[in-house]
Structure 1
């Protein structure tokens, strides 16, 4: 696994990938993070991911073209795939997402899977909001969620 840190408007991001694709975009990378000993500092392996994230933060990229390799259960991967279908600049509720994967009663499980998303920003879990239109919990913090939605024009103060 290769890793690098990327400065961003949200603070440093920890990126990690291997030959299968991107495994991790983690916020709060400024906090002490115990990296597995087998991880290696990336050379140019994560340059393309970093470039696309920089373009996103600059407002010039709406879709990512990155090979993804998130680790999770079949249900989690199903939810994460549905997240990738939420268009840039739009939001949906957890209930909408549960309907989308044809599990309308799994709203809480969808919320839990959403919160376990290891590839933040690129797999846009920030686009999921409460059914009443409020910003709900976000692993990176509600302030970061609001910043991302504002960047995309989906959330206006």
Structure 2
């Protein structure tokens, strides 16, 4: 099943694909989907996120089929980064027991099939915000929505998970 809604805040459609009760894909696109919105619970949670900057996405099952053990470990780890907090690629690498694998963590972020729900926008580079599949402007807007100070979003953070 595919569902979507239009985010006025981002100026993009948020398209979610769910199969067998698991989120398989999230896409942010300027193109209006051909299907009609269904108003699924994940779309309701995404709308709430855009209204408040807080999320409850961890309660949803995600499909990481086709991911390597390392990719799965990284993606599951970043799901635990709360809204309003950031971590560096290096901090995530250390958190998953692979210090020195910051570049590999960045590669996992770049291929994240479920952005927003798996909040790769909360992982920033030591010399700036880093990349984002939806573009840097979208990453900055998401961090701003969550209340991350601009200087924190553009610098390496020095705090981990609670």
TM-score (structure 2 length as normaliser): 0.81
> 1:52 and 2:45 equivalent?
yes
Aligned position for 2:5: 6
Distance 2:48 2:146 in 1: 12
What are the within-5 Å matches in structure 2 for residues 25-36 of structure 1?
25-28=26-29, 30=31
Distance 1:42 1:110 in 2: 36
* Aligned residues between the structures: 147
RMSD: 2.2
What are the within-5 Å matches in structure 2 for residues 5-154 of structure 1?
5-8=4-7, 9-10=9-10, 11-28=12-29, 30=31, 44=38, 47-59=40-52, 61-64=54-57, 65-71=59-65, 72-132=67-127, 134-154=128-148
Q: Deviations over 1:53-81 (max 9, x none)?
A: 00000016332221211332221111101
Aligned position for 2:160: none
Unaligned runs of 5+ in 2: 152-162
> 2:6, 2:14 within 8 Å by CA — same for their partners in 1?
yes
Distance 1:91 1:123 in 2: 13
Distance 1:4 1:120 in 2: 15
